[in-house]
Amino acid sequence: MSRPAGREPRRLTRWWRRRSLRSRLTVIAATAIAVSVFVAFQVASQLLGWELQDSAKSQLRADSRVLVTNAQRAGLAQVQLPPYPGSGRLVRVILPDGSTRTPAGQPALPPVSEHAGRVAQGASADLMESNDSDEDGYLIYTLRAGDGAVQVAQVADDSPINQFGFGMLLIGLLCVVGGALVGRTVARTGLAPIDRLTAAAVHVAHTRDLDADIPDEGGGEIRRLIQSINDMLAALRDSRRAQRLLAEDAAHELKTPLTSLRLNVELLIRLDRRGTLDSALPAESRTRLLNDLGAQVAELSTLVAELTDLARGDVSDENTELLDLADVVAAAATRARSRTPDVEVALDVTSVWVSGRPAALERAVLNLIDNAGKWSPADQPVQVRLRTEGASVVLEVDDAGPGIDAADVPRVFDRFYRADSARALPGSGLGLSIVQRVVDAHGGLATVARSARGGALLRVDLPAAAPPAPIARLTAQEDTAMRRPQPRPHGSGPKSDSRRAL
C-alpha cells in the first residue's frame, strides 16, 4: 500500500524542526559545500572535456598534414603510414578507387562515411567527425590528399575525465567533512552566548532569582538580545517588588480595621451569649457601636476595592474612546455630593475633549474631589476647574485646608502613604496613587502645589484631542418638509383602496 505523497515532506519537516540550531547550521554548511563542489565538478569536467577535444583535434590536423606532405612525395599508394602505438591514434588512406590502406596490425576503423568519401572525391577540403557506431568512439579527421584523402582517428578516451572526477570526488568529500567540522565549530563559537543565555534563563526558572543579570557580552544581535532579557528581568524584579510591597502594605492596612471590627463583633457576641446585651449596652451605645461597625465595613469595602484596582495595574476591559472630560468631571462631582453631602463642590469647567477610558477617569476625578473634601472647611467649597492650555487639558482641584507640607509632597502619590496630619482622618492612602496610575496610563502628568486659598492644589495635565465633527442637523423648515406627506402618483389611490377593500 503506497504512502500519501505529502507524508514524507511533512516527516522531513518535523525531523528538521527537531534538530538543534547547531545541527542545522552544520547541515547547512555541509550541504552548501557539497553543492558548491558538485557545481564546480560539473563546470570543470565540461571545460576539461572541451580542452581535451580541442587538443585532440589539433593533433589530428597536424598528423594529417604530415601524411599529406608525405603522400605528395611518394603517392597515396606508396606513402608510408606511421603507426602511433599507445597514443590511441589510427591512420588510413582513401585511394581514388575508394579502397583504403591501413598500417599492418592496426585495429580496423569504422567504414568510410559518406561525408568522408566526398572529401576523397574533392567535394570538400577536410572533415572533422565523430563516430560512435562502434564500441569505441572515434574522432576522425579527413584531409584531401591528391586524388584521395588521408584520415587520422583518435580513440575517444574518457579516462582523464574519470580520473579527474574521482579526484574531485575525494576532494569534495574532504571539503564536505571539513566544512561540516568548521561549520559546527563556528556554530558552537557563535552560539556560545546563546548557551550562556539559556543557562541563565534555566537558572532563573529553577531558582526564581531575578537579581542575576546576564553578562553583557558579544555584539550585534546577541548583545541586543541579552540587553532585552536583562530589561525583562529588571521589569520582573520591579513587578515582584511592587507586588510584595502591595501585599505587605495591604496586610498592614487591613490589620487595623479588621482588628477593630473583630473586637466589636466579639463584644456583641459575648454580651449576647450572656444575655446582658440590653443591660450592658444602652440603646445609644448600641447604636453608636453598630454605626462604627457599618463605618468599618464600608472602610474595608473601599480599601478592598482600591487594592483590587491597584492590583490590576494597567489591565482593563474598558475601551479607549473620544470623550468630553467636562461630562466626566460633572459625573464625578455628582457622585462626590451623594457620598459626602456636607462637602460643597464648585465646578468651573469648559467642554474639552480627550481620548481615554471614561470610568477610569471618573474614578480619578472622584478621588481628587474626595481627597480635597477631607481637608476643606465646612464653609469652603472644593473648587474644580477644567480648561485647555495649548495642547493639554488641565484639571485643577483645590481646597482651603492646611495644605501639604513640603516634606510630604514627593510622596503624595505613593501607595498607602498618609501624612502624620492625615492619620486621624478616614482613608487608606490609595486614592491619589490610583489617580497617578490613571493619569500615567493616559499619558498625562499629576502634580501637587499650594492653592491660592492656602490649601492643596492638585493638578492633572492630559493630552487634548480634537473634538468630533459636528453632526448635520435639519432646520425646522426642513424637518417640517420631510414630515409632510408626499403626493401620491396618479392612479395609486384606487389601487390602494382596492387592496384595502380586499
**496, pLDDT greater than 50:** no
Q: pLDDT tens digits, residue range 109-137?
A: 888 888 888 888 888 888 888 877 656 67
Residue 501 binned pLDDT confidence (cut-offs 50, 70, 90): very low
Identify whether residues 418 and 343 lie together within a single domain: yes
Query: Mean pLDDT, to the nearest integer, of 176-201?
Result: 78
Instruction: Work out whether strand 382-389 and strand 345-349 pair parallel, antiparallel, or are unpaired.
Output: parallel
- pLDDT given at position 464: 93
Q: pLDDT tens digits, residue range 139-158?
A: 888 888 888 888 888 877 77
C-alpha cell at 201: 534563563
Q: For the whole prediction, is pTM greater than 0.75? A: no
Identify whether residues 28 and 145 lie together within a single domain: yes
Instruction: Give the three-state DSSP class for 41.
Output: helix
- The angle subtended at Cα 48 by Cα 44 and Cα 50, nearest 5°, is 120
Residue 98: which of 86, 111, 85, 110 has the closest Cα?
Answer: 111
Identify whether residues 360 and 288 lie together within a single domain: no
Question: pLDDT averaged over the chain?
Answer: 77
Instruction: Give the three-state DSSP class for 401.
Output: coil
Query: Mean pLDDT, to the nearest integer, of 159-185?
Result: 82
In a domain, 500, yes or no: no
* CA atoms of 133 and 151, how far apart (whole Å): 17
Distances 162 to 48, 165, 420, 488 between C-alpha atoms, Å: 11, 5, 98, 100
Distances 462 to 111, 296, 392, 467 between C-alpha atoms, Å: 103, 35, 6, 15
- pLDDT given at position 422: 46
**Identity of the highest mean pLDDT range in 230-244, 325-339, 402-416:** 325-339
- pLDDT given at position 402: 78
Residue 499 binned pLDDT confidence (cut-offs 50, 70, 90): very low
In a domain, 483, yes or no: no
* CA atoms of 452 and 439, how far apart (whole Å): 24
* CA atoms of 158 and 124, how far apart (whole Å): 31
Identify whether residues 413 and 307 lie together within a single domain: no
Residue 323: which of 331, 315, 335, 333 has the closest Cα?
Answer: 331
Is there a contact between 336 and 343 (Cβ–Cβ < 8 Å)? yes
In a domain, 198, yes or no: no
- 32: domain range? 7-190
Distances 286 to 50, 257, 265, 270, 277 between C-alpha atoms, Å: 117, 19, 12, 14, 9
Residue 471 binned pLDDT confidence (cut-offs 50, 70, 90): low
- pLDDT given at position 15: 73
Identify whether residues 175 and 256 lie together within a single domain: no
DSSP 422: G
Share of the chain above pLDDT 90, in %: 11
How far the first Cα of the chain sits from its last, in Å, is: 74
DSSP string, 430-493: -HHHHHHHHHHHTT-EEEEEE-TTSSEEEEEEEE--PPPPPPP---HHHHHHHHSPPPPPTTHH
The residues, any chain, with a CB within 8 Å of residue 53's CB and separated by 6 or more, are 139
Query: Mean pLDDT, to the nearest integer, of 396-402?
Result: 87
Question: Where does residue 274 rank: exposed (0-12), middle (13-18), buried (19+ CB within 10 A)?
Answer: exposed
Query: Phi first, then psi: what are they for 11, rounded to 5°?
Result: -65, -40
Number of folded domains that form the chain: 3
Share of the chain above pLDDT 70, in %: 78
In a domain, 482, yes or no: no
Q: What is the CATH number of the domain that holds 298?
A: 1.10.287
Query: Mean pLDDT, to the nearest integer, of 46-53?
Result: 83
Is there a contact between 310 and 415 (Cβ–Cβ < 8 Å)? yes
Identify whether residues 342 and 307 lie together within a single domain: no
Identify whether residues 165 and 295 lie together within a single domain: no
In a domain, 357, yes or no: yes
DSSP 97: T
Instruction: Work out whether strand 456-463 and strand 392-398 pair parallel, antiparallel, or are unpaired.
Output: antiparallel
Identify whether residues 334 and 427 lie together within a single domain: yes
Identify whether residues 430 and 344 lie together within a single domain: yes
- pLDDT given at position 117: 83
C-alpha cell at 42: 560539473
Question: Where does residue 26 rank: exposed (0-12), middle (13-18), buried (19+ CB within 10 A)?
Answer: buried
Residue 236: which of 204, 193, 194 has the closest Cα?
Answer: 204
Q: Pick the residue with more confidence: 136 or 108?
A: 108
Query: Mean pLDDT, to the nearest integer, of 477-491?
Result: 54
Residue 367: which of 285, 312, 309, 282 has the closest Cα?
Answer: 309
* CA atoms of 53 and 60, how far apart (whole Å): 10
In a domain, 422, yes or no: yes
Identify whether residues 181 and 226 lie together within a single domain: no
- pLDDT given at position 256: 63
Identify whether residues 183 and 302 lie together within a single domain: no
Query: Mean pLDDT, to the nearest integer, of 223-245?
Result: 80
